[in-house]
């Protein structure tokens, strides 16, 4: 099975599970909680959970499907709250939860998903001590996600954010949940401490690379491909690695914090490419992926290990 087929199959199975558990909600809070989940998604974090489990113990992924769903619930909870903070109106092609209902209901909907994630981990077929470790890892991960989001918000008030600070932020905001996906899959499958540690740090590294690629996609991809407004980070003056490296090379992007035409965006991209900034940012992402792939070299050879390696490559070559 190739990676595309695996991801599509996982997404289909996760979608079925989501529909089974959340599709029949009748009350407003239940519908608000299910709204974003039912809108679809790539379901990459559940795929990492399942692959990590099978990489540690072949055939164990069937036992950790509820945990895979738990990581998707956690992801959706963060998106609902992010959309409130950012004032976004569209997510995954549908209106955001707080615009369909209201801020208070959206906050509670996110809280429902957050709490449900821990319940679903406990539904996995694994020893109790493994479940306790998995729950502990997810709890710590949620703290780190909040810390990363707060750091990202604090950067909005600054124009001196360093590359190191940016990487520290994405290691928490995005890297932490991919780290937990791989780590929890390994824990519940009975992985030894070396395997769990290797997979956790693999997930963290590729998750950081995922965010850097997202920053590139935001700038260069058309809305039809990315599903997002083009160059929204640039218009908002967001402290991405692109922005940071541009500033360090004396390129001022502050004049572009306004509504931009396609030709103006193309002009910025050309300027950044001439300065080697886009390629330098891609190099950082590539090194992070290689670091993650090296981490799991200690795992026994398997189809699942090979797919984990491929996911890292996919994270920095994807266009959406």
Tell me what pLDDT residue 96 has: 85
DSSP conformation letters of 173-216: HTHHHHHHHHHHHHHHTT--HHHHHHHHHHHHHHHHHHHHHHHH
Tell me what pLDDT residue 18 has: 87
Q: Is 101 within the bounds of a domain?
A: yes
Q: Which of 315, 124, 85, 78 is nearest to 211 (CA)?
A: 315
Q: Is 61 within the bounds of a domain?
A: yes
Average pLDDT value for residue range 40-46: 89
Q: Is the pLDDT of residue 230 over 80?
A: no
- What confidence category does residue 300 fall into, taking pLDDT thresholds of 50, 70 and 90? very high
Q: Is 320 within the bounds of a domain?
A: no
Tell me what pLDDT residue 222 has: 63
Determine the Cα–Cα distance for residues 233 and 237; give it in Å rounded to an integer: 6
Structure tokens, 123: 């539904």
- What confidence category does residue 223 fall into, taking pLDDT thresholds of 50, 70 and 90? low
- The answer to which of 179-183, 263-267, 285-289 has the lowest mean pLDDT is 263-267
Q: Is the pLDDT of residue 19 over 90?
A: no
Structure tokens, 190: 């009975």
Give the residue ranges of DSSP H helices in 123-192: 128-155, 163-173, 175-188
User: Contact at 8 Å (CB) between 182 and 52?
Assistant: yes
Tell me what pLDDT residue 184 has: 98
Tell me what pLDDT residue 132 has: 97
| 82: helix, strand or coil | helix
Q: Is 71 within the bounds of a domain?
A: yes
Determine the Cα–Cα distance for residues 245 and 132; give it in Å rounded to an integer: 42
Q: How many other CB atoms are there within 10 angstroms of residue 259's CB atom?
A: 7
Average pLDDT value for residue range 40-62: 94
Determine the Cα–Cα distance for residues 302 and 146; give it in Å rounded to an integer: 35
Give the structural domain span for 209.
3-315
Q: Is the pLDDT of residue 159 over 90?
A: no
Q: Is 136 within the bounds of a domain?
A: yes
Q: Is the pLDDT of residue 296 over 60?
A: yes
Q: Is the pLDDT of residue 219 over 90?
A: no
Q: Is 37 within the bounds of a domain?
A: yes
| % of the chain surpassing 70 pLDDT | 97
User: Contact at 8 Å (CB) between 173 and 152?
Assistant: yes
- 142 or 158, which is more confident: 142
- The answer to which of 62-66, 150-154, 252-256, 280-284 has the lowest mean pLDDT is 252-256
| % of the chain surpassing 90 pLDDT | 60
- What CATH number does residue 212 fall under? 1.10.600.10
Q: Is 91 within the bounds of a domain?
A: yes
Asked whether the CA dihedral 155, 161, 167, 168 is positive or negative, the reply is: negative
What residues contact residue 173 under an 8 Å CB cut-off, 6+ apart?
Answer: 145, 148, 149, 151, 152, 211
- The answer to which of 6-15, 48-57, 82-91 has the lowest mean pLDDT is 82-91
Q: Whole-model pTM?
A: 0.92
| 41: helix, strand or coil | coil
Tell me what pLDDT residue 224 has: 56
Q: Is 213 within the bounds of a domain?
A: yes
Overall domain count for the chain: 1
Region of residue 213 (phi > 0: left; psi between -120 and 50: alpha; otherwise: beta): alpha
Tell me what pLDDT residue 147 has: 96
């Amino acid at each position: 099975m190739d990676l595309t087929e695996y991801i599509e199959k996982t997404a289909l199975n996760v979608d079925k599970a989501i529909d089974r558990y959340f599709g029949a909600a009748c009350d407003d809070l239940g519908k608000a909680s299910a709204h974003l989940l039912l809108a679809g998604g790539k379901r990459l974090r559940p795929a990492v959970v399942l692959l990590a489990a099978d990489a540690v113990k072949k055939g164990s992924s069937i036992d950790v499907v509820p945990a895979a769903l738990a990581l998707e619930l956690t992801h959706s909870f963060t998106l609902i709250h992010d959309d409130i903070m950012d004032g976004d109106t569209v997510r995954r092609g549908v209106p955001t939860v707080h615009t369909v209902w209201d801020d208070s209901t959206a906050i509670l909907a996110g809280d429902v998903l957050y709490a449900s994630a821990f319940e679903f981990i406990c539904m996995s077929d694994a020893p109790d001590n493994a479940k306790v470790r998995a729950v502990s890892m997810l709890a710590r991960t949620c703290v780190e996600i909040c810390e990363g989001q707060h750091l990202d918000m604090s950067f909005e008030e600054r124009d001196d954010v360093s590359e190191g600070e940016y990487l520290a932020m994405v290691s928490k905001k995005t890297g932490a949940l991919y780290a937990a996906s791989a780590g929890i899959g390994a824990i519940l499958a009975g992985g030894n401490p070396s395997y769990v540690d290797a997979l956790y740090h693999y997930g963290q590294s590729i998750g950081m690379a995922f965010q850097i690629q997202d920053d590139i996609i935001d700038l260069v991809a058309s809305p039809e491909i990315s599903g997002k407004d083009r160059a929204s980070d640039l218009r908002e003056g967001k402290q991405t690695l692109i922005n940071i490296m541009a500033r360090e090379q004396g390129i001022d992007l502050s004049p572009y914090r306004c509504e931009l035409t396609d030709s103006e965006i193309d002009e910025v991209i050309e300027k950044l490419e001439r300065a080697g900034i886009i390629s330098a940012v891609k190099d950082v992402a590539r090194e992070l992926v290689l670091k993650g792939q090296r981490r799991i070299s200690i795992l026994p050879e398997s189809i699942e290990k090979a797919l984990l390696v491929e996911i890292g490559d996919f994270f920095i070559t994807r266009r959406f």
